[in-house]
């Protein structure tokens, strides 16, 4: 045994630089978080050595005594963290990620070419919810199933439940998926269940983004209404990168969801489970069941609301003008600035954000907005007052971006980047960038 730094200083050096980037900058990407050291220790453990295809006590490999104990523990903690009755709900903790969890769930619930409806990607939905473009079926969820997106109401930017109802009457889906990657409001599960029931369809919630808040009771409970709930474990839930699939054992629609989901994960979609990840999920779920978790989740929401309010008070436009959860969607279009430019500028000053489509964007390639999330900063114990400072940094970044765009004399991103990098070298007189970097 020799440490990484000795065996591979090159990789160690990259790790060191990334550690510095994560902890010295401001991490505002809504799908990211700062996982606990305990979970990372489990994730980097000896469990990575073990093969364990199958389920606890029914494996295709020997030597799984402790792996069985671990997976059962992880399942138990998952049900506890989401306050689920083990007689009514079960969980598969093996999916490698949110995307594979979703595809396994579709495999469990549907036959090839069955119909599904999910929130459209440009309206905040996820790729795995049936996304396709006019030119191409882009994702397995639209290649192997027929999908139709539902949308936001263009005036309120809330889910258009009436529109969904009407579309469903024509399309007659077998499955309705709710959940999103960029939707700042909560979901009306009662209405969604009623629409699904009208067509004898399954209802599945993908709570990848919000599961940490759902576990804490900060958002409406999808488990009351859905047949299946999927989630990633690394966003607001703050664990390792992986996925979970919860299934209702007493679903009125199918009595065999447990077998269907388990068979869909393995052997239909995956091979051996990543046991080191399952250990880290178990540790994360233990943390999510502690009283302190509620404080964290509450603060995530307070911080997102404060950040949103602070931007609005500086005259900026947010989609739905606020948030119920951990993220805000900032519409930069009134400023004549694209999300890509602000993202580039913020990278230069150690603020990590991502460009995002806002409802009604003409092009998904050049989105007019930014998605901001407060989970990672909250995990660093930042409070509402800190969000005011963050909002101020963002405000100044916009001002600088506007100066640079003017200086570039062009709206093209490449010209913006060229001018921004000369600012870095101190060649352009936009002193605020330098000041911003110092803070
Ligand atoms: N579902 C939603 C709603 C997501 O936002 C994401 C990721 O951003 C996923 C699924 C996919 O998760 P992963 O990147 O782990 O495959």
pLDDT one-digit tens code per residue, 82-129: 999 999 999 999 999 999 999 999 999 999 999 999 999 999 999 999
Q: pLDDT at residue 78 above 60?
A: yes
Residue 135's Cβ-count burial label (10 Å; 0-12, 13-18, 19+) is: exposed
- Within 8 A by CB and 6+ apart from 414, the residues are none
Element (H, E) at 150: strand 146-150
Q: Which residues pair with 355 in a beta bridge?
A: 370
Least confident of 250-254, 269-273, 342-346: 250-254
Predicted confidence band of residue 1 (pLDDT cuts 50, 70, 90)? confident
pLDDT, the chain, mean: 94
ipTM of the predicted assembly exceeds 0.85: yes
Pocket lining: 240 vs ligand 1, CB cutoff 6 Å: no
DSSP letter at 31 equals T
pLDDT of residue 437: 55
pLDDT of residue 253: 85
Residue 221's Cβ-count burial label (10 Å; 0-12, 13-18, 19+) is: middle
Measured distance CA(231)–CA(211) in Å, rounded: 7
| Catalytic residue, candidates 50, 51, 188, 317 | 51
Percentage, residues of the chain above pLDDT 90: 86
Contact 405, 415 (CB under 8 A): no
- 3-class SS letters over 56-116: CCEECCCCCHHHHHHHHHHHHHHHHHCCCCCCCEEEECCCCCHHHHHHHHHHHHCCCCCEE
pLDDT of residue 430: 46
pLDDT of residue 251: 83
Q: What would the pLDDT profile of 7-62 be if each residue is shown by its tens digit?
A: 999 999 999 999 999 989 999 999 999 999 999 999 999 999 999 999 999 999 99
List b or e across 200-216, with b for residues whose CB sees 16 or more CB atoms inside 10 angstroms.
ebbbbbbbbbbbbbbbb
Q: What would the pLDDT profile of 214-266 be if each residue is shown by its tens digit?
A: 999 999 999 999 999 999 999 999 999 999 999 999 888 888 999 999 999 99
Give, using CA atoms, the residue closest to atom 10 of ligand 1: 98
Predicted confidence band of residue 432 (pLDDT cuts 50, 70, 90)? low
pLDDT of residue 421: 74
pLDDT of residue 128: 97
Does 439 qualify as catalytic in the annotation?
no
| Catalytic residue, candidates 27, 32, 160, 206 | 206
Closest among 222, 152, 148, 229 to 191, alpha carbons compared: 222
- The DSSP code sequence of 176-208 is EEE--SS--S---HHHHHHHHHHTT-EEEEE-T
Measured distance CA(334)–CA(317) in Å, rounded: 8
Contact 296, 375 (CB under 8 A): no
Q: How far is the CA of 231 from the centre of ligand 1 (A)?
A: 8
- β-bridge pairing 369-373 and 327-331: antiparallel
Once rounded to an integer, what is the mean pLDDT over residues 276-287? Answer: 98
Closest among 390, 387, 210 to 297, alpha carbons compared: 210
Q: pLDDT at residue 439 above 80?
A: no
Contact 341, 413 (CB under 8 A): yes
Measured distance CA(326)–CA(310) in Å, rounded: 15
Q: What SS3 class is residue 328? A: strand
- Within 8 A by CB and 6+ apart from 49, the residues are none
| Catalytic residue, candidates 185, 235, 305, 344 | 235
Pocket lining: 206 vs ligand 1, CB cutoff 6 Å: yes
Once rounded to an integer, what is the mean pLDDT over residues 273-288? Answer: 98
- Report the chain's terminal Cα–Cα distance, integer Å: 42
pLDDT of residue 429: 44
CA angle 289, 21, 396 (to 5 degrees): 100
Percentage, residues of the chain above pLDDT 70: 96
């Amino acid at each position: 045994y020799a440490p990484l730094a000795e065996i591979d200083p090159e990789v160690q050096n990259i790790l060191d630089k990334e550690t510095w980037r994560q902890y010295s900058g401001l991490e505002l990407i809504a799908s990211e978080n700062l996982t606990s050291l305990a979970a990372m220790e489990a994730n980097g453990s000896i469990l990575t050595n073990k093969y364990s295809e199958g389920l606890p006590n029914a494996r295709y490999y020997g030597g799984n005594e402790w792996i069985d104990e671990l997976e059962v523990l992880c399942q138990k903690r998952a049900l506890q963290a989401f306050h689920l009755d083990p007689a009514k709900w079960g969980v598969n903790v093996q999916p490698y990620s949110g995307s594979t969890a979703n595809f396994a769930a579709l495999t469990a619930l549907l036959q090839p070419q069955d119909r599904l409806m999910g929130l459209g990607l440009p309206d905040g939905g996820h790729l795995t919810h049936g996304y396709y473009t006019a030119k191409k079926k882009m994702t397995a969820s639209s290649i192997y199933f027929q999908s139709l997106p539902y949308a936001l109401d263009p005036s309120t930017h809330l889910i258009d439940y009436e529109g969904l109802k009407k579309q469903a009457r024509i399309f007659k889906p077998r499955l309705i998926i709710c959940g999103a990657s960029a939707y700042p409001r909560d979901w009306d599960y009662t209405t969604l269940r009623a629409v699904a029931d009208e067509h004898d369809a399954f209802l599945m919630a993908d709570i990848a983004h919000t599961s940490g808040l759902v576990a804490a009771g900060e958002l409406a409970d999808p488990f009351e209404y859905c047949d299946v709930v999927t989630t990633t474990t690394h966003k607001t839930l703050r664990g390792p990168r992986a996925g979970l699939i919860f299934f209702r054992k007493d679903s009125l629609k199918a009595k065999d969801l447990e077998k269907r989901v388990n068979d869909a994960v393995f052997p239909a979609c995956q091979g051996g489970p990543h046991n080191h990840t399952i250990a880290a999920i178990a540790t994360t779920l233990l943390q999510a069941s502690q009283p302190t978790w509620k404080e964290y989740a509450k603060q995530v929401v307070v911080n997102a609301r404060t950040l949103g309010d602070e931007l609005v008070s500086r005259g900026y436009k947010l989609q739905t003008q606020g948030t119920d959860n951990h993220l805000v969607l900032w519409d930069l279009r009134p400023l004549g600035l694209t999300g890509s430019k602000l993202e580039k500028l913020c990278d230069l000053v150690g603020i990590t954000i991502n460009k995002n489509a806002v409802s009604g964007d003409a092009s998904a390639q050049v989105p007019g907005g930014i998605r901001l999330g407060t989970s990672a900063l909250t995990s660093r114990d930042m409070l509402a007052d800190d969000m005011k400072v963050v909002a101020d940094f963002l405000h100044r970044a916009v001002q600088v971006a506007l100066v640079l765009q003017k200086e570039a004399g062009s709206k093209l991103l490449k010209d913006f980047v060229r001018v921004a990098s000369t600012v870095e070298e101190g060649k352009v007189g936009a002193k605020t960038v330098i000041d911003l970097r110092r803070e």
